[in-house]
Amino acid sequence: MKIPTSLLAALVLGGLASGSGQLPTLKQAAQTRGVLIGGAVGSTLFDDLDPDYAATVGREFSVVVSENGMKWKALEGSPNEFVYGLADATVAWAAQHGVQVRGHTLIWHDSVPAWVYQLKTPAELRAAMQNHITQVMTHFGNRVLIWDVVNEAISDAPGHPLRANSPFALAGPDYIDAAFRWAHAANPAAKLYYNDYGAEALNGKSDAIYALVRGMQSRGVPISGVGFQAHLDANFSVKDSGMLENLKRFHDLGLDVQLTEVDVTLPAGGATPANLARQAQVYGDLMNACLGVKCSAFVMWGVNDAGSWRAGGKPLIFDDDYARKPAYGAVLGALQGH
Ligand code: XIL
Residue 22 sits in a domain whose CATH number is 3.20.20.80
CA 149, 155, 156 angle in degrees (round to 5)?
135
Q: Is the CB of 177 under 6 A from ligand 1?
A: no
Q: Is the CB of 308 under 6 A from ligand 1?
A: no
Question: Band of the pLDDT at 136, cuts 50, 70, 90?
Answer: very high
3-state secondary structure of 108: strand
pLDDT at 264: 99
Judged by average pLDDT, the poorest of 3-17, 83-97, 217-231, 313-327 is 3-17
- The CA 30 to ligand 1 mean position distance, Å, reads 25
- The CA 104 to ligand 1 mean position distance, Å, reads 10
From 71, 75, 105, 110, the mutation candidate for ligand 1 (largest count of ligand atoms within 8 A of CB) is 110
Q: What is the mean pLDDT of residues 299-323?
A: 98
Atom of ligand 1 nearest to the CA of 71: 14
Q: Is the CB of 68 under 6 A from ligand 1?
A: yes
CA 145, 217, 146 angle in degrees (round to 5)?
10
pLDDT at 8: 39
Q: What is the DSSP letter of 119?
A: -
Cβ contact 106:133 at 8 Å: yes
Q: Is the CB of 304 under 6 A from ligand 1?
A: no
So which residues are the catalytic ones? Answer: 152, 261
pLDDT at 20: 56
Q: How many residues does the chain have?
A: 338
Q: Which residues pair with 264 in a beta bridge?
A: 232
Q: What whole-number distance in Å separates Cα of residue 171 and Cα of residue 160?
A: 19
Q: What whole-number distance in Å separates Cα of residue 145 and Cα of residue 227?
A: 15
What is the tally of structural domains in the chain?
A: 1
Cβ neighbour number for residue 134 with a 10 Å cutoff: 16
- Give the rounded distance of the alpha carbon of 21 from its chain centre: 32
- The CA 18 to ligand 1 mean position distance, Å, reads 38
pLDDT at 21: 74
- The CA 68 to ligand 1 mean position distance, Å, reads 7
Cβ contact 72:113 at 8 Å: yes
Q: What residues contact residue 68 under an 8 Å CB cut-off, 6+ apart?
A: 42, 74, 111
Q: What tens digit of pLDDT does each residue of 182-219 get?
A: 999 999 999 999 999 999 999 999 999 999 999 999 99
Q: Is the CB of 43 under 6 A from ligand 1?
A: no
Whether the model pTM is above 0.75: yes
Within 13 Å and on the Cβ side, how many CA atoms surround 172?
A: 13
Picking from 206, 240, 230, the residue whose alpha carbon sits closest to that of residue 287 is 230
pLDDT for 275 beyond 60: yes
Q: Is the CB of 67 under 6 A from ligand 1?
A: yes
Domain limits for position 183: 5-335
pLDDT at 10: 43
Picking from 135, 260, 284, the residue whose alpha carbon sits closest to that of residue 200 is 260
Q: What is the mean pLDDT of residues 311-319?
A: 98
Looking at every residue in the chain, the average pLDDT score rounds to 95
